[in-house]
C-alpha cells in the first residue's frame, strides 16, 4: 500500500506499463530524447483522491491508477493547482471522453511530425499537456510525448514529485 500518498484532483502521472507496445514507445522516445533516456510510455490525469484517472487508452476516458499495480510510476502536482483550476480545465478536456485513441498519431510522433500535424484527438501525453494548457501552465500541447512530460516534471520548479517508484495500489 502507498499509504503516505494523498492523491488529489489535478495530479498527473506517467507509467511504464511493461507491455510490448510500451517497449516500442520507449525505444522511439529514446531515439529523440535529449537525455538519451525514456522510462515512461503512458501518461494521464488523476481526477479524484481515490485514484480515478482520465487518460487516452484505446478510448479516451476514465480508468484507475490501480490498473498499474506493479508498474514503475511517477505522480506529480503543479504547485499552482487548485480545485477551481482543475474544475475549469477539466471541463474543457472531458469533451474528449469516449473518443477513439488516435493510433495514427503514434507514427507522427515517431517521425517527429506530431508537433506540426494536428489531429482531432490527442494521444495520452498530449491529453495531459492539453490539460496543462487549459490550466494556463503551458503554451503548447501537440507533439508532447510521455518522456517529454517526465523530463519537464523532474527539472521544473513548478512541479512537485508526489511519488516515484513501483505502484502497489491505493
Domain extents in the chain:
12-166
Residue 166: beta bridge partners? 72
Query: Residue 96 pLDDT > 60, yes or no?
Result: yes
From the list 140, 136, 107, 108, the residue with the least C-alpha distance to 126 is: 140
- Determine what percent of the chain is predicted with pLDDT higher than 90: 60
If one compares 40 and 149, the residue with the highest pLDDT of the two is 149
If one compares 112 and 147, the residue with the highest pLDDT of the two is 147
Mean pLDDT of 54-61: 94
Q: Cell numbers of 48, please?
A: 479524484
CA atoms within 13 A of residue 151's CA, in its CB half-sphere: 15
If one compares 87 and 103, the residue with the highest pLDDT of the two is 87
Q: What is the CATH number of domain 12-166?
A: 3.90.1720
Residue range 69-83, pLDDT digits in tens? 999 999 999 999 999
Q: Which pairs with CB-CB distance under 8 Å and at least 24 residues apart come from 26-35?
A: 26/147, 28/109, 28/110, 29/145, 29/146, 29/147, 30/147, 32/112, 33/147, 33/151, 34/151, 35/151
Question: What confidence category does residue 36 fall into, taking pLDDT thresholds of 50, 70 and 90?
Answer: low
Q: What is the pLDDT of residue 26?
A: 45
Query: Residue 16 pLDDT > 90, yes or no?
Result: no
pTM above 0.85, yes or no: yes
If one compares 143 and 157, the residue with the highest pLDDT of the two is 157
121, 104 in Cβ contact below 8 A? no
Angle at 28 between CA 148 and CA 110, to 5 degrees: 85
Amino acid at each position: 500500500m502507498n499509504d503516505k500518498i494523498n492523491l488529489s484532483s489535478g495530479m498527473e502521472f506517467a507509467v511504464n506499463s511493461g507491455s510490448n507496445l510500451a517497449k516500442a514507445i520507449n525505444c522511439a522516445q529514446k531515439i529523440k530524447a535529449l537525455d538519451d533516456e525514456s522510462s515512461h510510455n503512458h501518461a494521464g490525469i488523476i481526477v479524484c483522491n481515490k485514484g480515478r484517472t482520465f487518460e487516452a487508452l484505446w478510448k479516451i476516458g476514465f480508468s484507475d491508477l490501480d490498473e498499474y499495480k506493479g508498474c514503475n510510476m511517477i505522480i506529480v502536482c503543479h504547485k499552482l493547482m487548485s480545485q477551481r483550476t482543475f474544475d475549469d480545465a477539466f471541463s474543457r478536456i472531458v469533451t474528449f471522453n469516449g473518443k477513439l485513441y488516435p493510433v495514427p498519431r503514434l507514427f507522427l510522433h515517431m517521425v517527429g511530425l506530431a508537433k506540426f500535424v494536428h489531429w482531432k484527438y490527442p494521444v495520452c501525453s498530449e491529453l495531459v499537456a492539453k490539460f496543462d494548457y487549459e490550466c494556463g501552465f503551458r503554451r503548447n500541447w501537440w507533439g508532447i510525448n510521455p518522456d517529454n512530460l517526465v523530463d519537464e516534471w523532474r527539472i521544473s520548479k513548478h512541479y512537485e514529485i508526489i511519488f516515484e517508484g513501483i505502484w502497489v495500489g491505493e
